Structure 1
Amino acid sequence: MAIGFDFGTSNCSVAHVVNGHVQTIPLSENETFILSALCAPTRAAVSEYLFRCLNIAPSSSAGEAVLSRAMSDNRAEGLEVRLDDVLFGKQALNLYLEDPDYVYYVKSPKSFLGTLQLREPQLVLFEDIVCAMMANIKSRAEAYLGQEITETVIGRPVVFNTLGGEKSNIQAEGILYRAASRAGFKHIEFQFEPVAAGLDFESTLTSEKNVLVVDIGGGTSDCSMIRMGPKWLTKKDRPETLLAHAGKSVGGNNLDISIAFQRFMLEFGKETNYKSGKAMPTMFFWEAVATNDVNAQRKFYSYENLETLKRLRAEAMYPEKVQRLIQVHQKALGHMVVGEAEKAKITLSDQSEYIASIDLLSEKIDIPIFSEQMEKSIAEPMRQIKNLIKEILLQGEVTPDVVYITGGSARSPIVREAVKSVLPNTPIASGNYLGSVTEGLARWADLCFK
Structure 2
Amino acid sequence: MFIGFDYGTANCSVAAVLDGQPTLLPLEGDNYYIPSTVCAPTRESVSEHLFRHLNIKPSDTVGEQVLRRAIAANRDESIELVREDMAFGQAALDLYLEDPRDVYYVKSPKSFLGANGLHDVQISFFEDLVCSMMANIKTQSELTTQTEILQAVIGRPINFHGRGGEEANRQAESILYRAARRAGFKDIEFQFEPVAAGLEYESTLKENKTVLVVDIGGGTTDCSLLDMGPSWIGRTDRTQSLLAHSGQRVGGNDLDIYLAFKQFMQPFGLASKSKSGIDMPLTQFWNPIAINNVEAQKNFYSRENFNALKLLRKEAAEPAKLDRLLKVYQDTLGYSIVRRAEEAKIGLADSAQFKAAVNVASELVEIDISVEQMIEAIETPKSKMIELVKEAIQQGQKAPDVIYMTGGSARSPILRQAVEQAVPNVPIVSGNYFGSVTAGLARWADTCFKM
The bucket for the TM-score relative to the shorter chain is over 0.9
Please identify, of 119-128 and 71-80, the stretch whose mean Cα deviation from structure 2 is larger.
119-128
- Deviation, structure 1 residue 278: 1.2
Matching residue of 2:227: 227
**Structure 2 counterpart of 1:392, which letter?**
A
- SS of structure 2 residue aligned to 1:79: coil
Matching residue of 1:184: 184
Q: Deviation digits for residues 362-392 of structure 1, max 9, x if unmatched? A: 3110101111111100000001011111111
2-structure distance, mates of 1:86, 1:378: 35
1-structure distance, mates of 2:387, 2:18: 39
Matching residue of 1:356: 356
Alignment of 1:267 with 2:267, yes or no, is yes
2-structure distance, mates of 1:445, 1:152: 7
Q: Deviation digits for residues 377-419 of structure 1, max 9, x if unmatched? A: 0000001011111111110000000000000000000010110
Matching residue of 1:245: 245
- Deviation, structure 1 residue 102: 0.6
Matching residue of 1:147: 147
2-structure distance, mates of 1:167, 1:265: 35
- Residues 29-428 of structure 1 aligned to structure 2 (within 5 Å): 29-428=29-428
**Structure 1 counterpart of 2:364, which letter?**
K
- SS of structure 2 residue aligned to 1:15: strand
**Structure 1 counterpart of 2:235, which letter?**
K
Matching residue of 1:26: 26
**Structure 2 counterpart of 1:414, which letter?**
I
1-structure distance, mates of 2:221, 2:117: 23
**Structure 2 counterpart of 1:342, which letter?**
E
1-structure distance, mates of 2:415, 2:285: 26
- SS of structure 1 residue aligned to 2:90: helix
- Deviation, structure 1 residue 22: 1.2
**Structure 2 counterpart of 1:241, which letter?**
S
- SS of structure 1 residue aligned to 2:317: coil
2-structure distance, mates of 1:395, 1:360: 48
- SS of structure 2 residue aligned to 1:231: coil
**Structure 2 counterpart of 1:142, which letter?**
E
2-structure distance, mates of 1:289, 1:31: 28
- SS of structure 2 residue aligned to 1:213: strand
- SS of structure 2 residue aligned to 1:425: coil
- SS of structure 2 residue aligned to 1:367: strand
1-structure distance, mates of 2:164, 2:32: 33
Matching residue of 1:9: 9
1-structure distance, mates of 2:354, 2:195: 35
Q: Deviation digits for residues 68-108 of structure 1, max 9, x if unmatched? A: 00000000000111100100011100010001001000011
- SS of structure 2 residue aligned to 1:263: helix
- Deviation, structure 1 residue 231: 1.4
**Structure-1-length-normalised TM-score:** 0.99
**Structure 2 counterpart of 1:294, which letter?**
V
- Deviation, structure 1 residue 334: 0.6
- SS of structure 2 residue aligned to 1:227: strand
- Deviation, structure 1 residue 19: 2.5
- SS of structure 2 residue aligned to 1:224: strand
2-structure distance, mates of 1:154, 1:262: 35
Q: Deviation digits for residues 258-304 of structure 1, max 9, x if unmatched? A: 00001101111001111001111101100010000011001111111
CA RMSD after TM alignment: 0.6
Please identify, of 219-228 and 320-329, the stretch whose mean Cα deviation from structure 2 is larger.
320-329
Please identify, of 3-12 and 115-124, the stretch whose mean Cα deviation from structure 2 is larger.
115-124
**Structure 2 counterpart of 1:173, which letter?**
E
- Deviation, structure 1 residue 361: 2.2
Q: Deviation digits for residues 19-64 of structure 1, max 9, x if unmatched? A: 2211111111111011110000000000000000000000110000
**Structure 2 counterpart of 1:309, which letter?**
L
**Structure 2 counterpart of 1:242, which letter?**
L
2-structure distance, mates of 1:284, 1:124: 29
Any gaps of 5 or more consecutive residues in structure 2? none
- SS of structure 2 residue aligned to 1:395: helix
2-structure distance, mates of 1:345, 1:47: 35
The count of aligned residue pairs is: 450
2-structure distance, mates of 1:32, 1:168: 30
2-structure distance, mates of 1:362, 1:174: 44
**Structure 2 counterpart of 1:412, which letter?**
S
- SS of structure 2 residue aligned to 1:392: helix
**Structure 1 counterpart of 2:375, which letter?**
E
Matching residue of 1:431: 431
- SS of structure 2 residue aligned to 1:189: strand
**Structure 1 counterpart of 2:199, which letter?**
L
**Structure 2 counterpart of 1:103, which letter?**
V
2-structure distance, mates of 1:308, 1:122: 26
- SS of structure 2 residue aligned to 1:272: coil
- Deviation, structure 1 residue 221: 0.2
Q: Deviation digits for residues 143-192 of structure 1, max 9, x if unmatched? A: 11101000000000000001111111000000000000000000000000
**Structure 1 counterpart of 2:103, which letter?**
V
2-structure distance, mates of 1:92, 1:228: 40
**Structure 1 counterpart of 2:326, which letter?**
I
1-structure distance, mates of 2:100, 2:45: 16
Where has structure 1 moved over 4 Å in runs of 4 or more? none
1-structure distance, mates of 2:240, 2:110: 30
Q: Deviation digits for residues 114-134 of structure 1, max 9, x if unmatched? A: 001122211111110000000
